[in-house]
Amino acid sequence: MKFYVVIPARYASTRLPAKPLKLIAGKTMIQHVYERARQSDAVKVIIATDDARIEAVAKEFGANVCMTKATHNSGTDRLQEVAQQFGLEPDDIVVNVQGDEPLIPPQVINQVATNLFNNAFSSMATLSEPIHSLEDFRNPNIVKVVKDTKGKALYFSRAPIPWPRDHFAKPDAITLPEQFPAQRHIGIYAYRVSLLNEFVTWPQADLEKIESLEQLRVLANGHAIHIEEACMAVPGGVDTEEDLIRVRKLLEM
């Protein structure tokens, strides 16, 4: 099995401008992500950006860089352009690693790629982790996922799913039920290039618009998404200045 890793990196960010170029323990964030991805089994790791500043920095530390259009609406569109520029075949596998995940374990990159390779019924694969707190279960910023017995995703939602009706019918229910199977979606994806090529031709799906979840476009168009619990914990990414401070403390210890 072979697979590629693409790291989309945008300079603009509402909450943390110039995020990929923020310094952490003497290296830019994008270099940390790139080096983590290089520790996986990927045959090639590519940084995809539309910004010359990110391109220049990435080339300084020896990364493969693909300059893409500035007009893409999503990271998936950007991935498809990279696959096209590099001449990847329809059956090739591309893993999307977010450019703000400087702590991403290489093992989960290998896991999601292997899962897609081993499950021919799926065009895409992703990962999840258990939800233990009621606060997280109710948080719309934490995406929940449910799957069938074969590991095929049934639905992704910002709403709390599945809903334990009988448990919350009790007036004193202030925690989740014991051994409750709620799963938080982790935003790492493996795609077959054939799916990327189809994806960019589809309009936004109604459910995608409602939930603001791009993966629902894939389900709406009849493709299967394989999902499995991550083989190890995946630390949160960097979205805010507070996240940046937290990651700096971890990597500068």
226 and 151 in a common domain: yes
Alpha carbon distance 25, 253 (integer Å): 9
214 and 138 in a common domain: yes
- The verdict on residue 110 lying in a domain is no
- The verdict on residue 127 lying in a domain is yes
98 and 2 in a common domain: yes
How high does pLDDT run on average in the chain? 94
- The verdict on residue 198 lying in a domain is no
User: Token digits for 180?
Assistant: 């409750």
125 and 96 in a common domain: no
85 and 131 in a common domain: no
User: Token digits for 240?
Assistant: 């805010």
211 and 167 in a common domain: yes
Using one digit for the tens of pLDDT, what is the confidence trace for 223-251? 999 999 999 999 888 988 999 999 999 88
Determine the structural domain holding residue 183 and report its residue range. 121-189+203-234
Alpha carbon distance 212, 137 (integer Å): 18
Burial of 95 (0-12, 13-18, 19+ CB in 10 A): buried
pLDDT of residue 62: 96
User: CATH number of the domain that 137 lies in?
Assistant: 3.90.550.10
Burial of 210 (0-12, 13-18, 19+ CB in 10 A): exposed
134 and 226 in a common domain: yes
- The verdict on residue 196 lying in a domain is no
Using one digit for the tens of pLDDT, what is the confidence trace for 129-175? 999 999 999 999 999 999 999 999 999 999 999 999 999 999 888 89
95 and 78 in a common domain: yes
- The verdict on residue 29 lying in a domain is yes
Count of domains observed in the chain:
2
